[in-house]
Structure 1
């Protein structure tokens, strides 16, 4: 009877150790997957930011070209544009 209780206690200790080990591994895996998602979002946001910056620059250049064309064709004067 004493031997069985000792064996049961040993099995419980081993089971608890295995549960803690599996829990630590699961926590590490979840953390790694969250890191991957965050890195992916970071890359996506950086790409989107570059794209928006390029789009804004293109709109500015297009507006400047239109203004210069209008000035060149005489449809607009510098004084009128400044006011």
Structure 2
């Protein structure tokens, strides 16, 4: 696992066997031209966040940004 920064905030990010981690969140995201999806789980809160959208490129996943903003509102200690 390595620490990356998003908007200057350190996050513990990892990705293996198709599963990514962001701090205590576990899930998967993906994109193909025209579609974007993400599913993230916060086990200790028994909370699951899922978004599917019809906007993306092969390099962007707008649904991840949406879900992370929602998580920031509900669980600010996970995404600052």
TM-score by length of 2: 0.26
Could you say which structure has the larger radius of gyration? 1
Between 1 and 2, higher relative CO (CA 8 Å, sep ≥ 6) is seen in 2
TM-score by length of 1: 0.25
More helix by share: 1
